[in-house]
Structure 1
Amino acid sequence: TLVRVIPLLLMPFVVLGGIYTGIFSPTQAASVSVYYAIVIGIFFYKELTWNGFMESLVDTVKLSSMIYLMFIGGDLFGKVLGYIGLPQMISEWIVNMELGPMGFLLVVEILLLVMGFFFSSIPMVIIVLPLFMPTVMELGIDPVFYGCLSIFCSLIGEITPPIGPQLWIAAPICNEKMGNIAREAWPFLGAQVLALFLTTFVPGIAMFLVDLMR
């Protein structure tokens, strides 16, 4: 019934409300949501037992360990590429093409989408994005807009095989094989790429809130 799901529906309001009012940080919000789930599981639904709690805890540790290992591997891979200077070489090649603002953004987006096959989002943001900042400023591109598009590209990489951290996270949660998850992700990937290029040509989609706050 509707009454039974109300506590679950309130969780986003509790979490987001706490973040936006400054009661706790986004990182702390994860802990708050866990405590909230435990409380309603014990006192409202009365279905959370000690054995169920321990089983959930073990599953969480397994999943978290897998995620951390993936991010560690992606970070090490990114550092190796950074050490040999590959991102710098690619950056110089793109800059030397002497493109206009729109052409530059499109080439950078394609580059980041391709890199998303092999990088997780964190190495991409830390290593690659700052390399193009001088060119962004020189071409008169809004750095906030550049940041939005770049982050969008890196997040698309999160569901792009073979690395695709979010796919590896979804597979054990859904109890499905990685191949099945990856196959079903392609329509969503296509929609995100379409949204990316649409936002590139219509900056107001990403910038209207920023412009209102300036």
Structure 2
Amino acid sequence: MSDVALFLFGSFFLLLFLNMPIAIALGLSTAATLLVFDLPLQALPSTLYSAMAKFTLLAIPFFFLAGLILERAGISRRLIHLAQTLTGHYTGGMAIVAVVAACFFAAISGSGPATMAAVGAIIIPAMVKQGYRKDMSAGLLATAGGIGIIIPPSIAYIVYGVISEVSIGKIFVAGIIPGLVMGLILALTSYFIAKRERIPTLPKASKKEIFLALKDAIWGLMAPVIILGGIYSGIFTTTESAVVAVFYGLIVGVFVYKEISFKQIPAILLDSAKTTAMVMLIVAAASSFAWLITVEGIAEDLAHSLMSIAPGPILMLLMINVILLIAGMFVDAISAYYIFLPIFLPIIAAMNIDPIHFGVMMTMNLAIGLVTPPVGLDLYVACGLAKISLKEISIGVIPFIVASLIALMLITYIPSITLWLPQLLQMK
């Protein structure tokens, strides 16, 4: 490895070790490398600007805003109640409700932490009241929150599509079945845990109760239909669908459910702006890091080194998964895309691995990173909601991490799970 690569990655991990925010660590390590090795520092501002000045990335703030609006409108509460009437009477019913509700809200929010916060704030106390352990409840919700970046619309898929230049609409379609597979495996794991621990079930809901819950939640269920249906039918682009989602959320929240007042809208806009600013800072800093490892040939050298170690696609995909699982313990998904895709994209092209399949695999892997210590964002959110320590939740989350790894292996080595739906819809 060259001196530039050693200094760049060494300074980056040193800054992470010093508990520096990821965006600052990426930006400072890049700038320091440019200065120390007398590289063109003047290229940095234009790189930062060009990374953010992309039309497709406009979808990110709008999806964040739409998720906030729909959550404040009471959508998550209604979706949880509907799921409860449908599955609450089965063994592990409340845990299954948590997974189903996470899948529902994932199809609205596009964000793992947002899904976790919206669903977990309601379902974790309900699960504990039902007899589930706090660490198990929080661990399940933290893991299920990761489905928020697997099932479309997904902020992660938008970033992957921008970097790899693949169709965002196609990867949105491709992510549906893998997200449901992960949800199914988490639900089965919850069922066996509940059966072993003899958790009591809820009374079976009547047909009338199911109908009323469905009627109350129908506006929430329509949100992903409108968002994703508009994209797949070609009525609007991904960015335009995010804007449509915002206006749909406002109509539902203000005029239908009447849980949002006009006085609350500025606060919602401010919260969305804060989250967007944080994400775009990461995008800018990570893109400068990716630019440096590309122009200096570091990505190419690392790609050749990996291909010499694992010459076939089976071993290569296993190695990439291990690398990403370790990276997910320290960096967020967006940063990981910018750091690793310049290295991995030439490899998957050389080995004829479909970039859509690879994108879903990588995203699922990074979703697991949301619940792996020491920097698992969803773990910290779940700790706050359940009022338990990181040590406690780290024990409760283990069965669900194992379940997620099983789902990851299925998606990695059976590409048809990912590619069947885009091929069925003849998407290009």
CA distance in 2, matches of 1:144, 1:19: 17
Cα pair 1:113 1:157 within 8 Å, conserved? yes
1:204 pairs with one of 416, 420, 425 = 416
Identity across matched positions, percent: 31
- Identify the residue that residue 105 of structure 1 maps to in structure 2: 317
Cα pair 1:112 1:153 within 8 Å, conserved? yes
Map 1:110-189 to 2 at 5 A.
110-126=322-338, 128-133=340-345, 135-136=347-348, 138-139=350-351, 141-142=353-354, 144-157=356-369, 160-162=372-374, 179=390, 183=394, 188-189=400-401
Give how far 1:34 is off.
1.9
Alignment root-mean-square deviation, CA: 4.0
Map 1:40-119 to 2 at 5 A.
40-79=252-291, 87-119=299-331
Higher relative contact order (CA 8 A, sep 6+): 2
- Identify the residue that residue 20 of structure 1 maps to in structure 2: 232
Cα pair 2:286 2:338 within 8 Å, conserved? no
Q: Is residue 6 from structure 1 mapped to residue 218 from structure 2 by the alignment?
A: yes
CA distance in 1, matches of 2:216, 2:336: 43
CA distance in 1, matches of 2:357, 2:276: 32
CA 1:143–1:64: 2 relative to 1, 3 Å: closer
Cα pair 1:125 1:154 within 8 Å, conserved? no
Q: Which amino acid aligns with 2:406?
A: L
**Which segments of 5 or more consecutive residues in structure 2 lack a partner in the other structure?**
1-211
Q: Deviations over 1:124-167 (max 9, x none)?
A: 44553354455545545455544443444344445555555666
CA distance in 2, matches of 1:111, 1:150: 11
CA distance in 2, matches of 1:22, 1:75: 30
Q: Deviations over 1:6-50 (max 9, x none)?
A: 222222222222222222222222222221122122222233222
Aligned partner of residue 96 in structure 1, secondary structure: helix
Q: Which amino acid aligns with 1:14?
A: I
* TM-score, normalised by the number of residues in structure 1: 0.70
Cα pair 2:303 2:346 within 8 Å, conserved? no
CA distance in 1, matches of 2:293, 2:231: 36
1:195 pairs with one of 407, 417, 428 = 407
Q: Deviations over 1:162-193 (max 9, x none)?
A: 5556668x57x96979959x847665544332
Cα pair 2:360 2:418 within 8 Å, conserved? yes
- Identify the residue that residue 29 of structure 1 maps to in structure 2: 241
Cα pair 1:121 1:154 within 8 Å, conserved? yes
CA 1:60–1:194: 2 relative to 1, 3 Å: same
CA distance in 1, matches of 2:371, 2:281: 17
Q: Which amino acid aligns with 1:106?
A: L
Q: Deviations over 1:176-214 (max 9, x none)?
A: 79959x847665544332212223333332233355549
* TM-score, normalised by the number of residues in structure 2: 0.40
CA distance in 1, matches of 2:306, 2:389: 35
CA distance in 2, matches of 1:164, 1:83: 31
CA 1:23–1:176: 2 relative to 1, 3 Å: farther
CA 1:164–1:66: 2 relative to 1, 3 Å: farther
Aligned positions, number: 213
